Amino acid sequence: MSWLAIHWNDDQQEAATTVLQRAEGLLAKFPVKAAADVADELERIGFETVERVEELRALIEGPDSDPPVALLLFEDRAIGGGGEVDALIQDCLARNIALALNPATAEAVFEALRAKRRAVVIFNPVCGSGNAEKEHARILELLEPSMMLDVKETTPEVEAGSLAREALKAGVDLVIAAGGDGTVSEVAEVLTGTDVPLAIIPRGTANALAVALFGPQLYLDPIGRSCEAILDGVTRTIDTVKCGDHQMLLLAGIGVESGMVERAERDLKARFGVLAYLVGGWEEIKAQNEFDVELECDGKRHRFRSGSVVVANAAPPSSVFAQGSGTPIYDDGLLDVTTLVDVKTPWEAVQTIMQLFQAGLTQQAPEERVITMRAARVRVETNPPQTVAIDGELVGQTPVEFEVVPASLKVIVPKHDDRRQAE
């Protein structure tokens, strides 16, 4: 947890409160520890979160022995004669805690704090199949030297969305979702429409949004590459999609895609990872029956029979049924609709999958058995009603409507991002 320790002697109270009030906007982002008399004065001048300590040494003792980001110690007494204050100073020097002894050095500490981003890591300890303890340690090793990090773990009682709301209230510069697609979606929904960017450290099974943003190279070292982007990447603003009460970041599937989600059970995902979805996809293609579709794209209606309709805002390469127009562009204000038609035999199904996979690589739409459209508003109605999966979760049945919310979520991506994007 990033916090400040503040102390002064009586002669320095006026000078201390003056310099602290000048930096009110910065200091309001941090919880504070102080002795009771100092805490009373800090609250009087506007500090809201002040924890009282009984002994000076407790000023620099935090949860799990974490130190404060700085000790603001306004003292005009001679230093070096022993006592509690000297012990506190020596402890700060030994533990490399930023230390201010007067208003001038306090201003220098404030400048250093302004230059260092403050981020909350929302860490899901039960996602994916990796070693959560080792991944936690590696994230701190890579990021903590350059950022002020607070790590908040999700629990069955405390969801990622509530932790993200707390982070926004605390005024952080960045929220990092370290988990799977579910964790990322919860955090993204809270950050949508704000100026606080989302960074992703993918630790789940599919990690679909992370791969859509970073490309397949992310698989080589998910934690290392994502932390590198956090430290040296750029902020890009992407579209989100409103779908009834749900927010969509990636894609919605009806027919084959939703069947893939149903078949890719958690035990299968744990054993095969992202291949679970492809295994589920092949099984679903063999079992899927066609249905009547009425598709409305920006007011224009189209009718046909199909076994698969996918509406995509963004998609990783593994989501082949979303690649009919090529890789969906996540910042162009449009949805990519891919529909399969006239797929009659298993061989035709295999050919169509290969054509869709190739379309994701070449950005050229297949010439057979695939209909593609692009629109800002899409409505899908089917007969009979079909299950709808949004971002890998089953949410209900058709009919369903989608509307792009352009440029509504800020995300961190690698600096050298050469993937397809809006012109």
Q: Which of 3-17, 57-71, 406-420 has the highest mean pLDDT?
A: 3-17
User: Encoding tokens for residue 107?
Assistant: 């201003």
**pLDDT for the residue numbered 152:** 93
Share of the chain above pLDDT 90, in %: 47
If you average pLDDT over residues 122-134, what whole number do you get?
Answer: 90
Q: How much is the pTM?
A: 0.78
If you average pLDDT over residues 293-297, what whole number do you get?
Answer: 95
- H/E segment holding residue 37: helix 36-44
| Lowest-pLDDT choice from 29-33, 157-161, 170-174, 208-212 | 29-33
Distances in whole angstroms, Cα of residue 333 to Cα of each of 300, 336, 367, 401, 405? 18, 10, 25, 16, 7
**pLDDT for the residue numbered 1:** 59
Model confidence band, residue 24 (pLDDT cutoffs 50, 70, 90):
confident
Distance, CA of 299 to chain centre: 33
pLDDT at 277 over 70: no
**pLDDT for the residue numbered 420:** 47
**pLDDT for the residue numbered 272:** 47
Q: Backbone phi, then psi, for 325, in 5-degree steps?
A: -95, 15
| Lowest-pLDDT choice from 18-32, 128-142, 335-349 | 335-349
Model confidence band, residue 55 (pLDDT cutoffs 50, 70, 90):
confident
What are 337-396's pLDDT values in tens digits?
998 887 776 667 777 777 777 766 666 666 678 888 999 999 999 999 999 999 888 889
Mean model confidence pLDDT for the chain: 85
| Bigger pLDDT: 62 vs 45 | 45
| Lowest-pLDDT choice from 155-169, 170-184, 284-298 | 284-298
pLDDT at 266 over 50: no
Alpha carbons 84 and 16: distance in angstroms, whole number: 19
Question: Among candidates 125, 386, 402, which has minimal Cα distance to 240?
Answer: 402
Model confidence band, residue 239 (pLDDT cutoffs 50, 70, 90):
very high
If you average pLDDT over residues 130-158, what whole number do you get?
Answer: 91
What are 78-93's pLDDT values in tens digits?
555 567 888 888 888 8
Q: Cβ atoms within 10 A of the Cβ of 327, count?
A: 24
Distances in whole angstroms, Cα of residue 184 to Cα of each of 93, 124, 222, 249? 39, 10, 14, 10
What is the DSSP secondary structure assignment for residue 55, as one 8-state letter?
S
End-to-end CA distance of the chain: 41
Q: Helix and strand tally (H, E) in the chain? A: 14, 21
